[in-house]
Structure 1
């Protein structure tokens, strides 16, 4: 089975956003180049870890002698994107993800692979291994360093915009109320 790759080499926009109210939000990674738009669903934890790891890569690259990749220490103001998601048509839900660095183009490389639905796994032709079936669709995004820094900043803000945490038990507080279950000492 050939892999369907949604590839973006120099995207016009790459953001994480949500649909729904806090506590019931669905996270999406959305990428656009000209008229091509792809949205994939993510877990909140995937979004948070993605932002953290992108910042780690960029921070490490800043330590390279002379910062030859011109990695910004903070988000360039002209790259701040606080606009809502464009209309979402989910391509797939992300499972395995990977990050890398391409020194030839000075870009952070993000790969997100379609998660295999356990209900349909039995319908997959047995001629293919599980790895081949799992990689039948993927998103490949190459982000310049400034765009990557802006992406990480926005993603952290989106993740933090959820329900407030209870200062006593650490669990989220729902709008309908909260029954705090403080662990016994």
Structure 2
């Protein structure tokens, strides 16, 4: 099933999790009016998006506006449109917006890898979301992403691996 959303103006662009540390599921969510779309993703993807957006924001004037704190909450129930694969990020000078492009993760099977053939018919079945977010929304997303990522399990001081609520077998502690 093909999913395509393009939000030239979003009310909210946020990230959040469902579940307990160690078994959390990460989501990106965009909302405009009553329309909303969520994408399941990995913690590292959330962190990478925030890191890139911070880098771009450092080269731009500080944001004039910020979304209200409640707009950054993940709205449930979350119905994922797809699992996140490739990510495209950029800046559109003409609209002074950051562009976030999210594409569906696609597993290619052996039939798709037939040598010498290109099947353009398969490209229109992938999910695709394009968002244009303000500098304020991007800055708020970065702050929220950093909080969400840091709220996970603490790292062991000896081995650096995450510690479960029940502890963990530390390879350095024998």
The question of a shared fold, defined as TM-score above 0.5 by the shorter chain, is answered with yes
Is 1:140–2:139 an aligned residue pair?
Answer: no
TM-score if structure 1 supplies the norm length?
A: 0.81
Aligned partner (choices 58, 71, 77) of residue 87 of structure 1? 77
Give the whole-Å Cα distance in 1 for the aligned partners of 2:173 and 2:125: 43
CA distance in 1, matches of 2:34, 2:74: 17
The structural deviation recorded for 1:179 is 1.3
Aligned residues: 170
Q: CA RMSD in A?
A: 2.9
Aligned to 1:152: 142
Give TM-score, length-normalised by structure 2. Answer: 0.85
Is there any run of 5+ residues in structure 1 with no aligned partner, and where?
A: 63-70
The DSSP-based 3-state class of the residue aligned with 2:60 is helix
Secondary structure at the counterpart of residue 61 of structure 1? coil
Contact 1:115 1:134 in 2 (8 A): no
Q: 1:72 aligns with which of 44, 63, 82?
A: 63
How far the C-alpha of 1:146 sits from its partner, in A, is 0.6
CA displacement at 1:84 relative to structure 2? 3.9
Deviations 1:10-56 (A, max 9, x none): 11111100111111111100111111110001111000010111011
Give yes or no for the alignment of 1:128 onto 2:127: no
Aligned in 2, Cα 1:8/1:87: closer, same or farther, shift over 3 Å? same
Runs ≥4 residues deviating over 2 A: 78-86, 121-124, 132-136
Give 1:168 deviation, angstroms.
Answer: 1.0
> Which residues of 2 match residues 8-47 of structure 1 at below 5 A?
8-47=7-46
Unpaired runs of 5+ residues, structure 2, are none
